[in-house]
Amino acid sequence: MDFALKEEHRMLQETVRKFVKKECPRELVRELDEKDEFPRTLFVKLADLGVTGLTIPTEYDGLGRDLYGAVIVVEEISKRYPALGWVYVMSAFYGGENIAKSGNTAQKKMYLPRLAEGKILFSYALTEPNAGSDASSAQTTGVKKGDQYIVNGSKTFITGADYSDYMITLIRTDKKASPKYKGLTLLIVPSKAEGVSMKQIKKLGYKGSSACEVLFENVAVPASNVLGGSEFENRGWAQLMDTLEVEHLEVAACGLGVAEGAFEEAVGYAKERQQFGQPIGKFQAIAHMLAEMYTEIEAARLIIQRTAWLLQNNKPSAIESAMAKYYATEVAKNVALQGMQIFGGYGYAMEYDIQRYVRDSLVLPIGGGTSQIMKNIIARKLGL
Catalytic site residues?
247
| 140 close to 153: Cβ distance less than 8 angstroms | yes
Strands 122-125 and 166-172, bridge-based pairing: parallel
167, containing H or E segment: strand 166-172
8, containing H or E segment: helix 7-23
The DSSP annotation for 60-108 comes to GTS----HHHHHHHHHHHHHH-HHHHHHHHIIIIIIIIHHHHH--HHHH
C-alpha–C-alpha distance, residues 189 and 85, integer Å: 23
- The SS3 call for residue 1 is coil
| 322 close to 306: Cβ distance less than 8 angstroms | no
| 263 close to 328: Cβ distance less than 8 angstroms | no
Rounded to an integer, what is the distance from CA 4 to the centroid of its chain? 25
H runs (alpha helix) in 126-193 = none
215, containing H or E segment: strand 211-222
- DSSP bridge pairs for 148: 145, 222
C-alpha–C-alpha distance, residues 269 and 331, integer Å: 20
